[in-house]
Structure 1
């Protein structure tokens, strides 16, 4: 009997031909598309564009997630010395107030002497929507995009490394396993996603550290702009300036604070995400048929990315809590000596299961759309480039 074939779209804008035969127990992918012919530069440009779009749209959710996790770790969000004078006063029926008004529109404040004062809980976050409300009221609407410049500086190189490397590793792994170990082919996305994410995390860890700190710490100074990426990183290094040159070189590793926790979070995130995303999007694109359009590529990849990103974000939330705690630690010696296991145990003892999933809501709400946007934008650009290359 002659082999039969069918075309299955894998989301890269062109088909993979799967050859099947009754005597074969599995089907092996044979690429006939220009996906393997795309240059690393073209892949990087497509990925960088996706990263910019995603970073801008979902940054407020990232701020909310980081603030909730930092608050649980003990970061104060009420004014404190040396920026403002702080007194504890009793007004009315033994209600405790601090000497600062959270906003001019607050109706819960009172007057002490010549100053307007608000209850301490005006500065405590109770959930994602409460973070949005209080940041807008106390700091201004634009602070929801605090750290966007760091997110962009991080997203472009991270995704520019991550997605192209994933594509190349996946293609190579699938080709290798198809020829030598067909039963292992379904695990190609898992392995490729883990390796690609590890490379991206290690390369961009200092920028991730700056972003976490910029989003976690509240600025109480009314004058001037809050520190940007460069000043934030200089602030991380400032306690080490008085050490010897040799120690300074060694202590530059503080810029990679939390990279272990970040890898512990992102490697399983990528493994779960890609191993979930690939079968979903291939099935969706298989329904579309041989002539996939940009719209169908967009819809299938966004849907698959949304589901996969949400699942991966929920599962890896405890490791995200650990990463945040390690990166907001201001004592350099303590930051360098903290371990992921130690922080996990500390969080469990302090707050139990609820503590391990602090910020899970905004993290999942951020990751689903973010993965969907990045993957769908990236694949649509690849689809357009493929059509352009294929046209006479």
Structure 2
């Protein structure tokens, strides 16, 4: 384990690893024996500063900081991806005039004579009676950049960060569970496989990533449900504040109660985990592909730096490896992401609880074919690559700094 740790983290004290001797069976000695700095040749056990000795608190702080930064930076791409997938699933992004009853109830009957263009600067509006109305394609998204343009023009620049509070509420605990658990599972499994089944060691990142992601997903799933619904549905009533995480989840529960006529039933709370199967079906292979790709890339990059590793090289190697691994994993799992989004925005509680991931994928294939399965792949890949790079590199740099300034014994 010492050699694999040093390959992954070459900033480890070289004097602590230079004299590690491995016996013919491949087992490691219980204590590290190193030559004393004064050159006397005296050897003795020395403390080892390694990735494996960081506590759970340090790992969680590192991961939470990384998640915070990533959630803020890449949120617009997440909004674009969700809008494109929701539109393909049948969510209508139309003008408030299509909901004229609600508009009149809010502003009074005179509101029907207002200027109902998609934005004050739109020159494509036609006159219907006394009302200026934009054509329908003003409200149809044609691609990632078109989503950005129309959200900024119709809803305001700040709407690109719709769901950021949910993203932060989700990312910090999720990643705070995910990355530390991945580290712990990987270290334990590498120790176990090195002693008992060395041939399976290359598969350790795949298994550790899958287990850690499953645990994190099951713990924080209702917030993920709220974020998807917040990003998918836009508020058309003028002057009304969009609902937050709590209001969104309460709205889901109240809709189930009103449909079933039963208050406080178990089913009304079960709906908060609607689509978790699709989420796991997406996240487990994503993590498996991501970590099994990321580990060899970053180890190779860090081995080039060797003993000269510093914070900048650790940042660069981990960001590059994370960017490549995240992009590949996001592209490969896009169909499962489309299924996850479709299940989370389902408005019929009975159908939401009845549908399975396989049925949803078949429905997507029937409606849109291969193009439907890869709806939103551009913003998904554009989001996942930088996101994984930011999270992993920030996490590893913070660990590096903690190891330098607060070595454990």
TM-score (norm 1): 0.90
SS in 2 for 1:111: strand
- How far is 1:154 from its partner? 0.3
Shift of 1:21: 8.1
What is the DSSP-based 3-state SS (H/G/I as helix, E as strand, rest coil) of the residue aligned with 1:220?
coil
Structure 2 CA distance for aligned equivalents of residues 61 and 385 of structure 1: 32
Q: Does 1:341 align with 2:358?
A: yes
Shift of 1:113: 2.7
The residue that corresponds to 1:263 in the other structure is 280
Contact 2:64/2:175 (CA < 8 Å) preserved in 1? yes
Partner-residue secondary structure (3-state), 2:307:
coil
Quickly say closer, same or farther: Cα 1:27–1:112, change in 2 above 3 A: farther
How much is the aligned-residue C-alpha RMSD, in angstroms? 2.5
Asked if 2 retains the 8 angstrom alpha-carbon contact of 1:13 and 1:380, the reply is no
Shift of the 29–128 alpha-carbon distance from structure 1 to 2, 3 Å rule, reads farther
Counting only pairs closer than 5 Å after superposition, residues 116-135 of structure 1 correspond to structure 2 as 116-135=132-151
Count the aligned residue pairs.
Answer: 373
CA 1:250–1:115 in 2, change beyond 3 Å: closer, same or farther? closer
- What are the Cα deviations for residues 311-358 of structure 1, in whole angstroms up to 9, with x where unaligned? 000000000000000000011111111100001001101110000000
Which of 149, 154, 159 is residue 165 of structure 2 equivalent to? 149
Distance 1:233 1:131, change over 3 A: same
Match of 1:213 among 204, 229, 236: 229
Check whether the contact 2:66–2:394 (CA below 8 A) recurs between aligned residues.
Answer: yes
Q: Which has the larger radius of gyration?
A: 2
**Residue in 1 aligned with 2:43?**
none
Question: Does 1:320 pair with 2:337?
Answer: yes
In structure 1, the partner of 2:394 is 377
Matching residue within 190, 202, 214 for 1:174: 190
Q: Verify: 1:110 aligned to 2:108, yes or no.
A: no
Shift of 1:15: 6.8
SS at match of 1:290: helix
Question: Which of 66, 69, 76 is the equivalent residue of 1:50?
Answer: 66
Q: Does 1:83 align with 2:102?
A: yes
SS at match of 1:335: helix
Label 1:77 to 1:28 Cα distance change in 2 as closer, same or farther (>3 A): farther
Q: Residues 391, 160 of structure 1: CA spacing in aligned structure 2 closer, same or farther, 3 A cutoff?
A: closer
The more displaced of 73-82 and 206-215 is 73-82
1:355 to 372, 387, 390: 372
For residues 12 and 225 of structure 2, the distance between their equivalents in structure 1, rounded to whole angstroms, comes to 38
Q: 2: distance between equivalents of 1:65 and 1:7?
A: 37
Matched, 1:390 2:388: no
Residue 107 of structure 1, CA deviation:
1.6
Deviation at 1:290, TM superposition (A): 1.6
Partner of 1:14: 12
How do 1:87-106 and structure 2 match up within 5 A?
100-106=116-122
1:29 and 1:178 in contact (8 A); partners too? no
Asked if residue 186 in structure 1 is aligned to residue 202 in structure 2, the reply is yes
Which residue does the alignment assign to 1:229?
245
Structure showing the higher helix proportion among its residues: 2
TM-score normalised to structure 2 length:
0.86
Uncovered stretches (5+) of structure 1, i.e. residues with no partner: 86-98
Distance, in Å, in 2 between the alignment partners of 1:234 and 1:123 is: 28
Kept in 2, the 8 Å contact 1:7–1:290? The answer is no
Q: In the alignment, which residue of structure 2 is the partner of 1:41?
A: 57
| Structure 2: tracts of 5 or more residues without a match | 33-47, 105-114
Task: Evaluate the alpha carbon distance shift between residue 219 and residue 7 of structure 1 in structure 2; reply closer, same or farther with a 3 A threshold.
Answer: closer
CA distance in 2, matches of 1:9, 1:185: 14
Distance 1:268 1:163 in 2: 16
